[in-house]
């Protein structure tokens, strides 16, 4: 059995700000059937500590970037979680990454260097009688672990896989923090830690990890281009032989439709309209469950919203983010009776929207994998998506060929412009007028595999290649 330590900055059910938490929470159970003993290391934020009450200390790490730190063992059902308890780094209000004023914590480099250091120590020395053979590192927050493993002389004993969930977040720190981050000055060069005059934890991971993965095959290819690589495309091209794209899956039990037929779906849509205050309509109810950012293309949707409404469609949006977009959508809700907006995040409402919506809109400018379109497929809530990243890999478009073959599961548009989105919305609303075709697409979508089975087997095979002889 492969022994793997998954290292992430968030993980359901303890702490979540986005899709990374869902992935980190789902992987251990998904991989158990593939002969993988995966355990998870996460920071001890207040919400995490509250969720593991009674968890016992299994390791003392001494002084860790400015204060004492221990590792606690917690069991969440069958899942083993190791919690890095370092109050000086994590016991504070706000989100895992942001202070209450909405700005990054100034010591974020040290906070997540500590997570990486703890992971490297567990890899080098084991913990409580268990020693991982592979460290599966998620995003920049765990990016320094391979560097620390090399410093500890343990890189020859434990394999490392770095998964890039979103390359836009790179863990940048000033070069004068090298000593504070326990990084060798001699490794600060263009082939190592240096990144345009600064330190990048993500670049460090890309350079020192044994293998690199990202969360869809298309995104893996996109990352090697200037448009999507965001300054790291050269590093990724150099590591191309070690780079692979593996699609995310979703938890099929957590996302289980309460209906199996178009009639059941229609009843949920009727109930949703009533619950959120939308008037009855003969048009499609479109939903958005997302961060409100330009990356997600939601400025484009705001621009073309009248096209949807004029065609009889409606919009229900749940999300938060950019203040201008929040204000724009609030204004749209005040102006149009067919628009309802909820600023914030509510897991129950998210499930209700996806169950009751007819179409889920994901017009992202880039999207490494995306989970909401997978939830949409599972519920027969047809995705309308941009042709990028994981959206391109998971949605079969209602093109003439797709419709003729009877395999379409949603709608795609490219390039990612307001006009192309407008055209896609018009085509979607036109197809809505053909219930037979629409219901066939719903059936296709609900039958489309969106779980972890195939991806779990791919990860398990990749871990096997990373095992090293001590």
- Alpha helix ranges (H) inside 322-371: 323-335, 347-356
Q: Compute the C-alpha angle 427/431/434, nearest 5°.
A: 165
CB 39 within 8 A of CB 132: yes
Sign of the four-CA dihedral 166, 132, 119, 71 = positive
Phi-psi category of residue 460: left, alpha or beta, with phi > 0 → left and psi -120 to 50 → alpha: alpha
Q: Is 16 annotated as a binding residue?
A: yes
Phi-psi category of residue 419: left, alpha or beta, with phi > 0 → left and psi -120 to 50 → alpha: alpha
CB 218 within 8 A of CB 187: no
Provide the total of helices (H) and of strands (E) in the chain, helices listed first.
19, 18
- Distance (Å, whole) CA 311 – CA 332: 16
- Distance (Å, whole) CA 470 – CA 332: 61
Q: Which residues pair with 410 in a beta bridge?
A: 397
Ranges of beta strands (E only) in 368-448 are 382-386, 411-413
Cα–Cα distances (Å) from 343 to 99, 231, 324, in that order, read 19, 33, 12
Query: Among 19, 68, 79, which residue's Cα sits nearest to residue 44?
Result: 68
CB 249 within 8 A of CB 332: no
CB 364 within 8 A of CB 337: no
Determine the length of the chain.
470
Q: Count CB-CB contacts under 10 A for residue 461.
A: 11
Q: Which residues pair with 198 in a beta bridge?
A: 174, 195
Binding residues for ADP-alpha-D-glucose, as ranges, are 16
Binding site feature residues: 16
């Amino acid at each position: 059995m492969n022994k793997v330590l998954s290292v992430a900055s968030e993980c359901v059910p303890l702490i979540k700000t986005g899709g990374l938490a869902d992935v980190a929470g789902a992987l251990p159970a998904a991989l158990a059937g593939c002969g993988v003993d995966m355990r998870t290391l996460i920071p001890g934020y207040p919400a995490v500590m509250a969720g593991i009450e009674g968890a016992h200390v299994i390791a003392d790490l001494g002084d860790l970037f400015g204060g004492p730190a221990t590792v606690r063992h917690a069991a969440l059902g069958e899942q083993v979680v190791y919690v890095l308890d370092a109050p000086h780094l994590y016991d504070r209000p706000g989100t895992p990454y942001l202070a209450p004023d909405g700005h990054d914590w100034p010591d974020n480099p040290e906070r997540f260097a500590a997570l990486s250091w703890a992971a490297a120590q567990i890899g080098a020395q084991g913990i409580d009688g268990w020693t991982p053979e592979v460290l599966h590192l998620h995003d920049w927050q765990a990016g320094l672990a391979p560097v620390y493993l090399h410093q500890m002389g343990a890189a020859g004993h434990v394999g490392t896989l770095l998964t890039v969930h979103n390359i836009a977040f790179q863990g940048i720190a000033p070069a004068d923090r090298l000593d504070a981050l326990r990084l060798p000055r001699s490794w600060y060069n263009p082939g190592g830690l240096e990144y345009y005059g600064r330190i990048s934890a993500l670049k460090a991971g890309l350079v020192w990890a044994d293998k690199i993965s990202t969360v869809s095959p298309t995104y893996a290819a996109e990352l090697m281009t200037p448009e999507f690589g965001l300054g790291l495309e050269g590093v990724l091209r150099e590591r191309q032989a070690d780079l692979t794209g593996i699609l995310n899956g979703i938890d099929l039990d957590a996302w289980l439709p309460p209906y199996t037929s178009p009639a059941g779906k229609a009843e949920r849509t009727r109930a949703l309209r009533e619950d959120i205050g939308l008037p009855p309509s003969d048009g499609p109810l479109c939903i958005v469950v997302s961060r409100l950012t330009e990356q997600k293309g939601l400025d484009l949707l705001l621009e073309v919203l009248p096209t949807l409404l004029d065609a009889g469609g409606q919009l229900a949006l749940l999300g938060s983010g950019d203040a201008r977009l929040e204000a724009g959508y609030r204004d749209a809700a005040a102006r149009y009776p067919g628009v309802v907006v909820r600023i914030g995040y509510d897991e129950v409402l998210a499930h209700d929207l996806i169950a009751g919506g007819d179409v889920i809109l994901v017009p992202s400018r880039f999207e490494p994998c995306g989970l909401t379109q997978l939830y949409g497929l599972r519920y027969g809530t047809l995705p309308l998506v941009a042709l990028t990243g994981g959206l391109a890999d998971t949605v079969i478009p209602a093109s003439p060929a797709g419709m003729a073959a009877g395999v379409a599961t949603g709608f795609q548009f490219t390039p990612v412009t307001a006009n192309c989105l407008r055209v896609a919305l018009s085509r979607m609303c036109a197809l809505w007028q053909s219930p037979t075709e629409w219901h066939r697409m719903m059936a296709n979508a609900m039958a489309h595999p969106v779980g972890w089975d195939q991806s779990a087997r791919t990860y398990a095979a990749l871990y096997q290649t990373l095992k090293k002889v001590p």
